[in-house]
Amino acid sequence: VNIGGINIPMSQFASRLELIDKENTVVLYCTSGIRSSHAAKILLQNGFSKVFNLKNGIVQLTIP
């Protein structure tokens, strides 16, 4: 599911941080929230400050 923004596979995430503007608010999401939580930690370690992770992932937003 893509709700907009930039899609960066986790396998490429650490090497593609230049695609993300440090001045913007960043909302990360994946299916379950595990990979996006890891990605959020990478951003915070690299000087990003406005970082949010969608807890429990995109499945939380899925309407039955």
Catalytic residues: 30
- Considering only CA atoms, give the Rg of the chain: 12
In degrees, rounded to 5, the angle at the alpha carbon of residue 49 between the alpha carbons of residues 44 and 52 is 80
> Tens of pLDDT along 15-57?
999 999 999 999 999 989 999 999 999 999 999 999 999 989 9
Q: What is the pTM for the complete model shown?
A: 0.85
Residue 12 has pLDDT above 90, yes or no: yes
Structure tokens at 20: 């993300």
Collapsing DSSP to helix, strand or coil, 50 comes out as: coil
Task: Read off the pLDDT band of 61 (50, 70, 90).
Answer: confident
